């Protein structure tokens, strides 16, 4: 029994170490970018990241005045996400697919159309690819 245990134990340790190395290699390939803002003022800003063909986009925030238009373009410049917000922003994750290359996450803050108040609010969008 002891000889059997001495044979099995090194194999068990080796399989655990190999599994950890494989998982660590996958994590190194994960990339992400965050587009965020908190405060007042209209304007536009963007983030870019080199991505493969798919990703997960999530968002959170609240727009008190004005609107926020968010777009995500894939490596070929095709729009793979396009949404306008004027209140609560809350989604855990949505899958996006497109062409590999440099992806662009863009947010455009605009005045309130009715009262003309400048944009006021906060948001965070995160793309993992």
Q: How many CB atoms lie within 10 A of CB 74?
A: 23
First vs last Cα of the chain: how many Å apart? 49
DSSP string, 23-51: HHHHHHT--EEEEEEEEE--EEEEEEEEE
DSSP code for 30: -
> Do residue 11 and residue 51 come from a single domain?
no
* Per-residue model confidence as pLDDT tens digits over 73-104: 999 999 999 999 999 999 889 999 999 999 99
Q: pLDDT exceeding 90 applies to what percent of the chain?
A: 71
For residues 38 and 125, is the Cβ–Cβ distance under 8 A? no
> Do residue 109 and residue 58 come from a single domain?
yes
Per the structure, the count of domains in the chain is 2
pTM flag (> 0.85) = no
Longest dimension (CA), the chain: 82
Range of the domain at 10: 1-30
User: What pLDDT is recorded for position 28?
Assistant: 53
* Per-residue model confidence as pLDDT tens digits over 30-41: 899 999 999 999
User: What pLDDT is recorded for position 75?
Assistant: 97
Residue 37's CATH number: 2.60.120.380
């Amino acid at each position: 029994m002891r000889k059997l245990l001495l044979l099995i134990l090194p194999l068990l340790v080796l399989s655990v170490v190999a599994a950890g190395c494989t998982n660590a290699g996958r994590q190194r390939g994960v990339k992400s970018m965050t587009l965020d803002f908190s405060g007042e003022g209209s304007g536009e800003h963007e983030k870019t990241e080199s991505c493969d063909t798919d990703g997960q986009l999530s968002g959170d925030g609240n727009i008190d005045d004005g609107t926020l238009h968010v777009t995500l373009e894939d490596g070929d410049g095709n729009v793979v996400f396009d949404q306008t917000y004027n209140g609560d922003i809350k989604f855990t994750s949505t899958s996006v697919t497109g062409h590999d290359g440099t992806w662009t996450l863009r947010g455009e803050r605009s005045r309130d159309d009715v009262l003309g108040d400048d944009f006021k609010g906060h948001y965070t969008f995160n793309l993992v690819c």
